[in-house]
């Protein structure tokens, strides 16, 4: 009741505001009557009018009503669903301005969280700004009032599925087939029991994993398989957890794959394995890591949060020995198989939760010349306590969260005596506020 009363008490009129900066999620930040207001759709430097959507004790939230003075970087979004769909937050900003804002955010996090004032930047790594997403998880919802199935990303700050005709950031093989998917699922007997499709696109093949909450009929299976034949997809079904994923068509499909051409490595992976969403940026990212980590004959290298070996295997082609550590057993199994497929026998992999005590892990008691870190958004704080024991002369940190990167950089610099040499953004997620970045540390 209190929440409802609070919502009813929101002012109904629009208020003026000057946008000072970006929040980490891409909303504009203004100060109104001394309180920070996070405004959807507003850009730094703009004068706007907005309406409140919520008011809290220390801050408020709103959405833009009118742009009075537009920022120089404002452009017309390509997607008609921008502003409703939660998949993108930066389509109203030029590509160059997106990069500039992400660099500002990265530097700000280093200063505020890591207490590192001077940071030298690499030129940003950029690639295609549209059609780049090779991995995605799409929501599915049968809506009786509309008489059809919605397929797409969820709406901003909402559990509802966006009504999308197409998606310009998805790989075109999928982004241009959302209506076909809608019609397919709408024809199934289990259309109201199919909440999700997982998308995975490799260099040569593409797969769709349909999450179905009850057994599909023989007619349903025939329609799903026919869709795969018509549009060139490997079709998988998932009845329960990830272990239940089974191929429908073909019966025994080849694994998906992607190549790191400059490194002479090819990876095979299953549709549910974690791989980077942006293949072009991933190739450039691996090349940069190899340049700055600079593994050479005689080096022993530790690759933490190694996944399926995206960095481990290229490193193994140059170093004497590489140890890859990852918490997901299936990823480690895939990494070992990829190492064998690429003829690499100087690499070992271990399954370990890197947030826990590693005192019983033999690999954790060795010394390493160089270390690579590529953690999840939570960062690598816990495992950094082992850095003095490992005593690397060089550390490369790849991050999908500038806040935890800045926190961990502060630990390496202020607690363990390293120097932040260079950092930079990598545009893994164009049209969104997500910031992928890389940092190089050396002995101070």
Q: Are 201 and 134 in contact (CB under 8 A)?
A: yes
232's torsion region: left (phi>0), alpha (psi -120 to 50) or beta?
left
Beta-carbon count within 10 A of 390 CB: 18
For residue 235, the cross-strand partners are: 208, 249
Which is nearest to 319 in space by CA: 299, 344, 303? 299
DSSP string, 128-149: -SSS-B-EEEEEEEEETTTTEE
CA separation for the pair 253, 202 (Å, rounded)? 13
d(C-alpha 178, C-alpha 414), whole Å: 50
Which tokens hold the place of 433?
């506020």
Note if the bond before 250 is cis, omega within 30 degrees: yes
Which of 79, 167, 306, 400 is labelled catalytic? 400
**Of residues 280, 310, 229, the one with CA closest to residue 427:** 280
Q: 145: how many CB neighbours lie within 10 A of its CB?
A: 5
Give the bridge partners for 381, in sequence order: none
Q: Cα separation of 72 and 43, whole Å? A: 10
Which DSSP category does 346 fall into? S
Q: Is 306 a catalytic residue?
A: no
The residues assigned a catalytic role are 400
């Amino acid at each position: 009741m209190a929440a409802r009363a609070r919502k009813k008490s929101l002012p109904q009129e629009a208020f003026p505001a000057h946008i000072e900066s970006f929040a980490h999620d891409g909303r504009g930040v203004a100060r109104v009557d001394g309180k920070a207001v996070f405004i959807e759709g507003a850009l730094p430097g703009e004068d706007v009018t907005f309406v409140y959507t919520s008011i809290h004790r220390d801050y408020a939230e709103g959405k833009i009503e009118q742009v009075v003075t537009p920022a120089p970087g404002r452009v017309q979004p390509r997607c008609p669903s921008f502003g409703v769909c939660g998949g993108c937050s930066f389509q109203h900003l030029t590509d160059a301005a997106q990069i500039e804002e992400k660099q500002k955010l990265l530097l700000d996090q280093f200063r505020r969280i890591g207490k590192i004032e001077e940071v030298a930047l690499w030129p940003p790594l950029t690639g295609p700004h549209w059609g780049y997403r090779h991995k995605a998880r799409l929501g599915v919802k049968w809506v009786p009032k509309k008489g059809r199935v919605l397929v797409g990303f969820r709406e901003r700050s909402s559990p509802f599925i966006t009504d999308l005709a197409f998606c310009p950031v998805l790989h075109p093989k999928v982004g241009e087939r959302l209506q076909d998917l809608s019609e397919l699922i709408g024809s199934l007997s289990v259309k109201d029991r199919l909440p999700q499709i997982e998308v995975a696109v490799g260099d040569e093949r593409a797969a769709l994993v349909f999450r179905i909450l009850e057994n599909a009929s023989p007619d349903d299976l025939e329609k799903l398989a026919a869709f795969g034949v018509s549009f060139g997809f490997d079709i998988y079904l998932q009845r329960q957890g990830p272990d239940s994923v089974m191929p429908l068509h073909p019966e025994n499909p080849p694994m998906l794959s992607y190549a790191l051409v400059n490194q002479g490595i090819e990876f095979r992976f299953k549709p549910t394995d974690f791989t980077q969403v942006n293949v072009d940026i991933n190739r450039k990212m691996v090349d940069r890591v190899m340049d700055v980590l600079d593994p050479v004959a005689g080096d022993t290298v530790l690759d933490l949060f190694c996944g399926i070996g995206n960095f481990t295997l290229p490193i193994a082609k140059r170093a004497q020995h590489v140890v890859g550590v990852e918490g997901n057993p299936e990823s480690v199994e895939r990494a070992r198989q990829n190492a064998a497929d690429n003829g690499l026998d100087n690499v070992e992999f271990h399954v370990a939760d890197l947030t826990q005590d590693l005192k019983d892990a033999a690999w954790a008691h060795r010394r390493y010349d160089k270390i690579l870190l590529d953690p999840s958004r939570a960062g690598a704080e816990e495992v950094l306590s082992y850095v003095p024991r490992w005593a690397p002369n060089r550390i490369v940190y790849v991050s999908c969260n500038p806040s935890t990167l800045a926190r961990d950089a502060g630990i390496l610099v202020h607690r363990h005596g390293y120097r932040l040499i260079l950092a930079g953004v990598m545009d893994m997620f164009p049209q969104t506020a997500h910031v992928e970045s890389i940092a190089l540390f050396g002995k101070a």
